[in-house]
Amino acid sequence: MKILFGIQATGNGHISRSREVVHRLRSRGHEVRVLFSGRDPSGLKEIEVFKPFDVRRGLTFQTSRGQMQYLKTVFTLNLPRFYRDIYDFDASGVDLVITDYEPLSARVARRFRIPSIGIGHQYAFYYDIPIAGANPFTRRLLQAFAPADHPVGLHWHHFGQPILPPIIPGHLDGSRPVKADKVLVYLPFDHPDEVQMLLTLFTTHRFFIYGIDKLNSPVDKGHLHIRPYSRSGFLQDLEDCNGVICGAGFELAAEALQLGKKLLVKPLKGQFEQLSNALALENLQLAMVMQHLDRKAVQKWLELPPNSPAGYPDTAQLIAVWIENGHWQDIGSLSKEAWAQTGRVPRWHGR
């Protein structure tokens, strides 16, 4: 098949899991063209593996100091350009559009009547899962942002719904020895000075801090080790750390759970997806949650033991085979097959 694969580039999690699916599809002989949107091209790092790819402006949300900025988001949207990109897009010969919550490819599929599959955590919110901080507007916005004919949701647990386990990088196998005093920190929506001021207090641990824009070389300040973007470096630090402090996004938490790392998450204020993720992690007893940069919370969390490894399957391979087989309406069987490999088989009514 000739596939257009859209990736929402505002978060590295979308890129990380899409890398796995694109690789599996290409290795099975499919022609995959990638479309990135939502981030300035200069901010896209280590994406050569996706070639051939296009980059468009797309749509994205604005944040500041750990909080959603809805008014700023409205003023920075360029809807005329967005719709021009849709109408000017050359989709000739495309058999299938796959969108990892990327709005431009989703609307290209609608315009040219091409079948579409949505793969991502956001599509799990189409089902009955833990939700916090939502209202009718945000729920409607979530479903309208990147619609797909066949939405495939991903989550840390099935919650009795036809959704899939997370997509984990294939080489993240936990083979590196764990260092008990090492903590990985990824809080890109918080001011880096405030994050460092908090962590300076805990001299018994070493904190490896990522997510600071325009940092080109490593900076070491005693037990604080500030690192520029590096996919390989980040994953190495993830593998041998004892725990992870991060936002309540989906993909990094999934990778940490796969490796059995303890988690301390700080949801983005006003962002119902992250608020819901924090609620789910608490309900599943998989993480501690702090609503602000909280010294007492960090101290308590540092004393906790690690999690047990989650044992998620090779979800990307299962998805690639399912896409190839063409039974796209039958997400339930795919979900059961995936969770059966973890020993946690969902049983939903009528399926």
Residue 119: is its pLDDT beyond 60? yes
Mean pLDDT (whole number) for 173-183:
91
**Choice between 91 and 138, residue whose per-residue pLDDT is larger:** 91
pLDDT of residue 64: 52
The whole-number average pLDDT for the span 128-143 is: 84
- What pLDDT is recorded for position 27? 97
Q: Report the distance separating Cα 321 and Cα 325, nearest Å.
A: 6
Confidence of residue 285 (pLDDT cuts 50, 70, 90): very high
Mean pLDDT of 188-210: 96
According to CATH, what is the number of the domain 2-168+313-340? 3.40.50.2000
N residues, the chain = 351
Q: Where are the beta strands (DSSP E) in the chain?
A: 2-8, 31-37, 53-56, 63-64, 67-68, 96-100, 116-120, 150-153, 182-186, 206-210, 219-221, 224-226, 243-247, 262-266, 288-289
Q: What percentage of residues in the chain have a pLDDT greater than 90?
A: 71
Q: What is the pLDDT of residues 223-276, one digit of tens each?
A: 999 999 898 999 999 999 999 999 999 999 999 999 999 999 999 988 889 999
Which comes out higher in pLDDT, residue 56 or 256? 256
Rounded Cα–Cα distance for residues 263 and 254 (Å): 10
What average pLDDT does range 19-23 have in this prediction?
Answer: 96
Question: What pLDDT score does 41 carry?
Answer: 72
User: Which pLDDT value is given to residue 75?
Assistant: 46
Read off the pLDDT of residues 331-340 as tens digits, 9 standing for 90 and up.
999 999 999 9
Calculate what percentage of the chain has a pLDDT beyond 70: 92
More confident residue, 171 or 189: 189
Please give the CATH architecture assigned to the domain spanning 182-302: 3-Layer(aba) Sandwich (3.40)
pLDDT at 219: 96
Asked if pLDDT for residue 69 goes beyond 50, the answer is no
Q: Specify the pLDDT at position 234.
A: 94
Domain limits, CATH 3.40.50.2000, in the chain: 2-168+313-340, 182-302
Confidence of residue 35 (pLDDT cuts 50, 70, 90): very high
Confidence category of residue 346, pLDDT binned at 50, 70, 90: low
Instruction: Give the per-residue pLDDT at 60.
Output: 65
- What's the distance, CA 271 to chain centroid? 14
pLDDT the model gives residue 38: 82
Residue-wise burial string across 257-286, b where 16 or more C-beta atoms lie within 10 A, e elsewhere: bbbbbbbbbbbbbbbbbbbbbbbbbeeeeb
